[in-house]
Amino acid sequence: MTIHTITPAPQAPVVPGRGRLRPLGLGDVRITGGFWGDRQSVNGRHTLEHIGSRLESEGWLPNFDLAPTGGLVEGRRGREFSDSEVYKYLEALAWEIGRTDDPTLEQRFHDVVARVAAVQEEDGYLNTRFGRPGQPPRWSDLEWGHELYCLGHLFQSAVARERTRPGSDDGLLGIARAAADLVCAEFGADGRDAICGHAEVEVGLAELSRVTGDRRYLAQARLFVERHGRKTLRDIEWGRKYFQDDIAVRDAKVLRGHAVRANYLASGAVDVAVDVGDNELLKALRRQWDRTIARRTYITGGQGSHHQDEAFGDDWELPPDRAYSETCAGIGSIMFSWRLLLAGADPRHADLIERTLYNVVATSPAPDGRAFYYANTLHQRVPGIPADPDGTSPRASSSLRAPWFDVSCCPPNVARTLASLDAYIATADAGGVQLHQYAPASVRTSLDDGRIVAFDVDTAYPADGRITVTHMSDADAAWTLSLRVPAWAAGATLRIVTSDSVQQRSVDTGMVEIRHAFRSGDLVQLDLPMAPRVSSPDGRIDAVRGCVAVERGPEVLALESVDLGPAGVDDVGRVAIDLDTAPVERDGKVWVRVARLPLADGRWPYGEEPAGTDAESVEVPLVPYHEWAERGPSTMRVWIPEAP
Amino acid sequence: MTIHTITPAPQAPVVPGRGRLRPLGLGDVRITGGFWGDRQSVNGRHTLEHIGSRLESEGWLPNFDLAPTGGLVEGRRGREFSDSEVYKYLEALAWEIGRTDDPTLEQRFHDVVARVAAVQEEDGYLNTRFGRPGQPPRWSDLEWGHELYCLGHLFQSAVARERTRPGSDDGLLGIARAAADLVCAEFGADGRDAICGHAEVEVGLAELSRVTGDRRYLAQARLFVERHGRKTLRDIEWGRKYFQDDIAVRDAKVLRGHAVRANYLASGAVDVAVDVGDNELLKALRRQWDRTIARRTYITGGQGSHHQDEAFGDDWELPPDRAYSETCAGIGSIMFSWRLLLAGADPRHADLIERTLYNVVATSPAPDGRAFYYANTLHQRVPGIPADPDGTSPRASSSLRAPWFDVSCCPPNVARTLASLDAYIATADAGGVQLHQYAPASVRTSLDDGRIVAFDVDTAYPADGRITVTHMSDADAAWTLSLRVPAWAAGATLRIVTSDSVQQRSVDTGMVEIRHAFRSGDLVQLDLPMAPRVSSPDGRIDAVRGCVAVERGPEVLALESVDLGPAGVDDVGRVAIDLDTAPVERDGKVWVRVARLPLADGRWPYGEEPAGTDAESVEVPLVPYHEWAERGPSTMRVWIPEAP
């Protein structure tokens, strides 16, 4: 594990003090278009405005204006964690300003920070819901109050700002430091022996430590991580695992409980493990990741199969129709995987990030960037009901993308993720640069020895599987360009075109390394096989036994009722896939043959073996799962029963 | 539909003013032993004492002592509906006193009623949680306050008492009438246009009307039924269907929302439809029952597949591992089915009652009658954790039977059901007597024309399929004895032995009618085929695709890990059933062959088709589902994957 001393720090959300890989930030890597560039553009042009507008109309931002007037006790609106949405919005603004230098957003950022500043008390305390006369006392409801959770997001926003606009005069870093100092005083080794019911302050403190160099914050993050599992939070109906307060982080075998909390805590624990050099803890977290991926993760990368407590189920409990797969849990999983990737350079972590980006993060926002999925079902049995465009939807039972939720953590979480996505594309190490995710991009960075490398990535991925790296700088000594070949991409080929040779070869999945003194104009071309694949579930995932999913590249595909007309059925509940004919790609779509199941109605549904399908199967198209319900209400399924 | 005028009224929970069948109560039918007699005995000896003791120690009964001292505002304990548990306990006591004449229980009954009486206000209002200075005002929280729900249970307890001890001086009927009068004044046609968030007052008012002859109570029940679906309750995260306030009862197509609420409301609606002669409403309820049974009911008869809102899922959404199948929902379903059976004499309603009695109601209590299941999963993936015998368990996440719950509706609901079970065995009509459920019993009743009939039922059912009816009275004219042949009992045979003939024949499923002037000593013997049956699910029940369940008689069977030792596996998650060998019965157990699935661990679980089973299958026994977890913590499944 290499110790990084990088100046200036990369403009990235996670900058560990050590690790196998060093992140490249917005100053090094820019997404220049394509699948993710389009989404970043919608995010910057529409989603940020939409979120800002809703934060105002819901009162969550105006809450901050009420404190100086004394109106907060009577007039505060929103749930106990609504401050955090403002901070995630600030974080998203900070990244977007870093990407685009937009002066309107810059002004908005200053305005919002000023409003937040007005609420901070002299000793650094900052929350609109606790601590004033008439409000519950500070830290009086650690299970549900979310005070430290909110501060964690505040810290992340200040970190994003300081990394993208170091030394800005907006004052946010000072606000964050004052609050962090209070947290250290209140919850330090000699202070209150407690944790927050929702992990998040751990990642916030760890990054604040990295950005300020103040190790007290790291020590405090470590204390919070270590205090999990000591049962200091009250027991609740779903058990203390909901808060990850059932088992010490280093003793746990798998992620469990509330899926967002679990991933945020695991992320903070990696930060601590890496920065304090606790390899035992790091190993424990890797093992937890392994088992969580093997047994508790949907094919989309989504996590969480319980609606009631927004939680992981038991091993193998992955019902597609009751998938919770909260968008924020997907983002939390990316946070966890990214940290493990930086620490250990295992491409499986980047594989999961890709899967989760395409099939959870990309699924949430509508094409216009103004409506979102909070939960991401893999099987919709009843066509959804369009959400009120001016209203607030219930978070989990929303069956179509909705503009806002009573608990609206997901929209700003998507926004901050998309605005900082450039930082998840590539990393560097002593020997070269690693490309983990494929998007049109320009990379301009320096290696550890100070040599400049520059290359452009051109690709229509995932529409097409060809990724072309064109070198734009001349190296006088060899360095290593590493490309991730996803685990699904067996049969990938690599072509290297330099001034004096053309090589072509097949490459294994994992990381393929090309060591060369690249010259401007040299090309490295990776071809990933994009033919549709039929995937079967492990036999222990009972809920999808006898079904297959069809995938293409990094995208999971889905069958929607709107495409079932030719099959003579109006929902996806009575079709089976005919696998005698392989899925084919034609006209930019993947087609499969399905047959209608002849099923009797109105009788006791348990008895004789069901009959086979009708003789005739018909061809129907599938859509990428992330596009589902974009053509209006429909039924949908990812897992399609095999014809008997 | 016949109009009944029966004097004296049967000692039964449901005595409709009209219907195809007339209930026979505790005075007509006595269960004398066997499967249900044993459970009634445990219920009377242990469960009632256990419930009474817990109601005291939890404070739910002492709450009633606090009102006269003014201590209720500060000192009240329990959830908002805790009064109702006291009333269900009273109802259970009333039936048990009716069955056994136990003087200790009679004294206890008087004592509890006196404590309840002390809380009733001058105008009839009765609730420990609302209406006093310092408490929320009366009727101020109709969504969640449960005031009318509690009164519904009060009315049912008073009805049970008046039917079993008419004119008793305990005062309960007067308490109920005073409260009912207040409800009519407050919520009558000219009063508050509102409903309670939890249906129950409807059945209570309808029966109170029947027992008192006061039609105002029926009119009020009708108003409450008709007011559902008008969206007078506030919307909530899970929608107004949770309260059945989304669609008018007569317009609904299927039961939906909270499964206990849905069944209680449907039951009250049948009562109203029958007594006011609203055949359109009755037809609508029959259609709802039909679709609910065809699409939203587990093979156990259990209902409710959402933990979050304790609710029905969509059609075909029946995950075994997330079955909620609340014990109270099973009891509610029996209430609904029983009312439809009385109204229309369709044996399918008695079929479902039998299935639900054996596989939900019998599953809940432990053999000692002092611990219960609240939710009834059909697939336990992780061995349960024994409940604290002195503690209170979370209702739904309890994985082993627990002595008490924070929401403890199920134990007293089981108690009142078992104590009144004699009343669900048989009915009468103008032509004779119908036997719906099989248990050792004595039946002594009179036909509509006043003729006395008497017969005994002997059977070891369900251990054995032979049911023998021995006539104990001499009829001078023919009457009809009808026996239900369950839908699963294809191939049943009937043998009739009279003084002058012996007949034997096979009989179809449904009701078999034997018309004869039976003489004392005549025998009617029904033989139901008890060989184990392999049942497959409808192809639309995705969660159990590729699995079978094994049933025997009315019992659903289950595979428990404790029996899997010989198969070399310690949980039920990696076995498949080998159907090349049919299940066999031997030594009082049903045996099946299972093979171990060779599954890889620690990898991404979606990809190639899983391999087949190991070559060797081994024989393992199944247990009746209602006995599962009686040998300690284990994993369990009802639906067993078929070997590939």
Report the complex ipTM: 0.92
Residue-wise pLDDT for A529-585, tens only, equals 999 999 999 999 999 999 999 999 999 999 999 998 766 667 899 899 999 999 999
Closest residue, chain B, to A290 (C-alpha)? B602
Q: Which of A292-301, A550-559, B3-12, B591-600 has the lowest mean pLDDT?
A: B3-12
The predicted model scores a pTM of 0.95
A371 is written with which tokens?
């409506």
Q: Is the pLDDT of residue B6 over 80?
A: no
A302 is written with which tokens?
């989504």
Closest residue, chain A, to B394 (C-alpha)? A237
Convert A529-574 into a string of H (helix), E (strand) and C (coil): CCCCEEEEECCCCHHHCCEEEEEECCEEEEEEHHHCHHHCCCCHHH
The 3-state DSSP class for residue B483 equals strand
Q: Is the pLDDT of residue A602 over 80?
A: no
Q: Is the pLDDT of residue A154 over 80?
A: yes
pLDDT score of A449 = 85
Q: What is the mean pLDDT of chain A?
A: 95
- Does the distance separating the beta carbons of A542 and B547 come in below 8 Å? yes
pLDDT: is A601 or B40 the higher one? B40
Residue given tokens 């409709």 in the structure block = B16
Residue of A306, A346, A536, A542 to mutate for B, most B C-beta atoms under 10 A: A542
Confidence of residue B34 (pLDDT cuts 50, 70, 90): very high
Confidence of residue B46 (pLDDT cuts 50, 70, 90): very high
- A552 close to A585: Cβ distance less than 8 angstroms: yes
Closest residue, chain A, to B598 (C-alpha)? A539
Contact list in B for residue A641 (CB cut-off 8 A) is: 539, 542, 545
Residue A261's φ and ψ, nearest 5 degrees, are -55, -45
Quick one: what percent of chain A has pLDDT higher than 70? 97
Is A234's Cβ below 8 Å from some Cβ in B?
no
pLDDT score of A611 = 64
Contact list in A for residue B316 (CB cut-off 8 A) is: 381, 573
Q: Which of residues 70 through 129 in chain A touch B, CB cutoff 8 A?
A: none
* Pairs across A and B, CB distance < 8 A: 167
pLDDT score of A5 = 61
Q: Is the pLDDT of residue B398 over 70?
A: no
Quick one: what percent of chain A has pLDDT higher than 90? 87
Q: Is the pLDDT of residue B494 over 70?
A: yes
pLDDT score of B569 = 66
pLDDT score of A395 = 79
Q: What is residue A599's DSSP assignment?
A: -
pLDDT score of B617 = 84
Compute the distance between CA of residue B231 and CA of residue A630 in angstroms, rounded to an integer: 30
pLDDT score of B69 = 83
Q: Average pLDDT for residues B76-89, to the nearest whole number?
A: 97
Q: Closest Cα to residue B549, out of B445, B622, B466?
A: B622
Q: Is the pLDDT of residue A397 over 80?
A: no
Confidence of residue A390 (pLDDT cuts 50, 70, 90): confident
- Which run of H or E residues covers position B535? strand B533-537
- Does the distance separating the beta carbons of B237 and A397 come in below 8 Å? yes
Residue-wise pLDDT for A99-140, tens only, equals 999 999 999 999 999 999 999 999 999 999 999 999 999 999
Residue-wise pLDDT for B617-642, tens only, equals 889 999 999 999 999 889 999 999 99
Quick one: what percent of chain B has pLDDT higher than 70? 97
Closest residue, chain B, to A355 (C-alpha)? B604
Residue-wise pLDDT for B286-340, tens only, equals 999 999 999 999 999 999 999 999 999 999 999 999 999 999 999 999 999 999 9
- Does the distance separating the beta carbons of A307 and B597 come in below 8 Å? no
pLDDT score of B7 = 63
Of A314, A322, A538, the CB nearest to B605: A538
Contact list in A for residue B602 (CB cut-off 8 A) is: 290-291, 294
Q: Average pLDDT for residues A309-324, to the nearest whole number?
A: 96
pLDDT score of A399 = 73
Q: Average pLDDT for residues B364-380, to the nearest whole number?
A: 97
pLDDT: is A610 or A276 the higher one? A276
Rounded alpha-carbon distances, angstroms, from residue A93 to A49, A114, A366, A531? 10, 14, 20, 38
Residue of A601, A604, A637 to mutate for B, most B C-beta atoms under 10 A: A604
Residue A242's φ and ψ, nearest 5 degrees, are -50, -40
Q: Is the pLDDT of residue A270 over 80?
A: yes
Outline where A165-258 has alpha helix (H). 172-187, 201-212, 215-227
pLDDT score of A517 = 96
pLDDT score of B574 = 86
Q: Is the pLDDT of residue A264 over 90?
A: yes
Q: Closest Cα to residue B620, out of B604, B640, B598, B600?
A: B640
Q: What is the mean pLDDT of chain B?
A: 95
- A363 close to A618: Cβ distance less than 8 angstroms: no
Is B538's Cβ below 8 Å from some Cβ in A?
yes
Of A322, A599, A607, the CB nearest to B322: A322
Quick one: what percent of chain B has pLDDT higher than 90? 87
pLDDT score of B613 = 62
Convert A15-56 into a string of H (helix), E (strand) and C (coil): CCCEECCEECCCCCEEECCHHHHHHHHHHHHHHHHHHHHHHH
